[in-house]
Structure 1
Amino acid sequence: MIRRLTEDDRELLMALLRKEPALNLFIIGDVENFGFEQDFMELWGEIDPSNGRMKAVLLRFYRSYLPYADGPFDVEGFAKIMQKDNDIHMISGVTDVVKAFDGVNNFKQEKHLYFAELKEMNVKIGESFSSSEGIKKATVQDVEAICSLTDTIVEFESSRDGSRTSLRKTLASGTGRTYYMKREDKVVATASTSAENSMSAMVVGVATHQAFREQGLATSVVAQLCSDLLHEGKSLCLFYDNLHAGVIYKRLGFQDIGSWTIVYM
């Protein structure tokens, strides 16, 4: 049985999501930050009538959908919900769950990513990363300087138009944070989090200015960011598809815990 979820279902939903909190950080973060009564966000759950347990959940956040299940679930039931949305942009989630919709929804493009988690650092800040001095935590006043860097990075091209608005909103709302390093009075390395919740956060927006690469600057910024969050009792997660980047993250202590698939409609 699939039904729309409300605040009364919070504990039932969290009982499902806490089984894999890292993989569910987006849904956990959205529920903690926005609740259940928002125009831009909806949640549906599949309830097992035999025991009242929630088997699967589907989140709509603006034009994107994120399904999660811890076993077999009603794929066609969730697919019908998404098919009613004429403005759907993408579906993302754990690969096995997203791939269950093959043949049910029409996918135009797929992207596959490694999903890694950090629970404990392999290194101590200051011992392995001599560049950590001078790393600062950004405020809203630093948005322009940070985006002036990311504007020059090819990998950030798709999000360039809304980058300033998005970063301001994230910093102002506390749903993420950004650290950066300056050289010659300009930002040359940065790293951010998004989807921060009581248990975890996603590392995003890692960038280094072209002229300052191969110096370990971004690694130092990420290390400082991760160290501070771990000190707060949170784990860190990130996506990567670049194997070179994967090696760097694993030096810090990240471990692969699964794969993530994004499909565009």
Structure 2
Amino acid sequence: MIRRLSERDHDKCLELLRPKSAENLFILGDLEAFGYEQEFQKVWGDFDENGRLRAVLLKYKRNFIPYAASGNFDAEGFASIISEDGDFGLLSGLKSVTSRVYPYISRRLVKERELHYAKLTGDTAMLKDDYREVKRAGLQDIGRIGELYRQIPEFVDVGTEKDRETNMKKGVSRTYYIERNGKMVSIASTAAENSLSAMVVGVATLDGYKRQGLASKCIGKLCLDVLAEGKELCLFYDNPEAGRIYQRIGFKEIDRWMIYLY
């Protein structure tokens, strides 16, 4: 049985989502930030015959994200909710879950993308390095962060300085960097941080400073600090070179992350 969820269902939601906090980064983050009663956010739950919550479907603006602990859930029912929504534009989530929902969606697919999805939990054995030159950015560094990203073509459109400032103040994002001669040359950040998990994003190094292990140090220090707070870390990647860096640090692939654009 599928029904809309409310604040009264929050404990049941956490019971389902918490064991896989990295996999459910976006759902957990949106629930913590916005709850169940916002105009732009809705949550549905699928209950088994014993009344136990077995799957959730989150709508944030135009994006739907389903999650189920196993393959036994009403995927067709979730697809019906998605297809009938006049503001639907995106389906995203773990491939193991979205692959069951996607075939039942009646809208025309425009584009599909598949990304590697990896996570790092409490094991810090592979994070042994000298991190003394890695610094954590503060609000005073917002402009310098933007300056670095503007020098790297694939990061030109990654957020605005206002967004970075807002997210840093709210505690949903943090940034670590290495500098040379007073200039930021390598960087790594988190996004969508919540009380249980965080995502590694924006890993970049300027040309001329690559292949020196700088990005690995930025990520390593970031991971140590976040893990020390009892959180799990996750990330997307589709670049094999980036994947090798993450694997050396200790990230392990858990699934693929699918993005379906309608």
**Equivalence for 2:85:** 85
**Equivalence for 1:72:** 72
5+ long unaligned stretches in structure 2: none
How much has 1:84 moved relative to structure 2?
Answer: 3.5
**Equivalence for 1:41:** 41
Q: Does 1:125 align with 2:129?
A: yes
In 2, are the aligned partners of 1:33 and 1:175 still within 8 Å (CA)? Answer: no
Deviations 1:30-73 (A, max 9, x none): 2223322323322111122x211112111112221111112232
Q: In structure 2, the residue corresponding to 1:111 is in which secondary structure?
A: strand
How much has 1:211 moved relative to structure 2?
Answer: 2.5
Match of 1:165 among 159, 162, 166: 162
In 1, are the aligned partners of 2:76 and 2:104 still within 8 Å (CA)? Answer: no
**Equivalence for 2:195:** 198
Deviations 1:206-244 (A, max 9, x none): 111122111111111101000111122222111111111
Aligned partners of 1:46, 1:168: CA distance in 2, in Å? 37
Aligned partners of 1:209, 1:181: CA distance in 2, in Å? 11
Q: In structure 2, the residue corresponding to 1:166 is in which secondary structure?
A: helix
Aligned residues: 257
**Equivalence for 1:10:** 10
Aligned partners of 2:27, 2:134: CA distance in 1, in Å? 30
2:261 aligned partner, one-letter code: Y
**Equivalence for 2:248:** 251
Taking the TM superposition and a 5 Å limit, the aligned residue runs for 1:1-265 are 1-48=1-48, 50-70=49-69, 71-100=71-100, 101-104=102-105, 105-119=107-121, 120-121=123-124, 122-126=126-130, 132-157=131-156, 159-160=157-158, 162-265=159-262
Aligned partners of 2:185, 2:253: CA distance in 1, in Å? 28
Aligned partners of 2:177, 2:88: CA distance in 1, in Å? 34
Q: In structure 2, the residue corresponding to 1:238 is in which secondary structure?
A: strand
Q: In structure 2, the residue corresponding to 1:147 is in which secondary structure?
A: helix
Aligned partners of 1:190, 1:86: CA distance in 2, in Å? 40
How much has 1:169 moved relative to structure 2?
Answer: 2.0
| C-alpha RMSD over aligned residues | 1.8
1:137 aligned partner, one-letter code: R
TM-score (structure 2 length as normaliser): 0.91
Aligned partners of 1:231, 1:18: CA distance in 2, in Å? 18
16-25 vs 211-220, greater mean Cα deviation: 16-25
Aligned partners of 2:218, 2:5: CA distance in 1, in Å? 39
Aligned partners of 1:134, 1:87: CA distance in 2, in Å? 47
Q: In structure 1, the residue corresponding to 2:103 is in which secondary structure?
A: coil
In 2, are the aligned partners of 1:137 and 1:180 still within 8 Å (CA)? Answer: yes
Aligned partners of 1:258, 1:136: CA distance in 2, in Å? 31
Aligned partners of 2:184, 2:40: CA distance in 1, in Å? 33
2:114 aligned partner, one-letter code: H
Percent same amino acid at aligned positions? 46
Q: In structure 2, the residue corresponding to 1:98 is in which secondary structure?
A: helix
How much has 1:103 moved relative to structure 2?
Answer: 5.0
Aligned partners of 1:181, 1:102: CA distance in 2, in Å? 46
How much has 1:3 moved relative to structure 2?
Answer: 1.5
In 2, are the aligned partners of 1:125 and 1:227 still within 8 Å (CA)? Answer: no
Aligned partners of 1:252, 1:14: CA distance in 2, in Å? 29
Aligned partners of 1:87, 1:146: CA distance in 2, in Å? 34
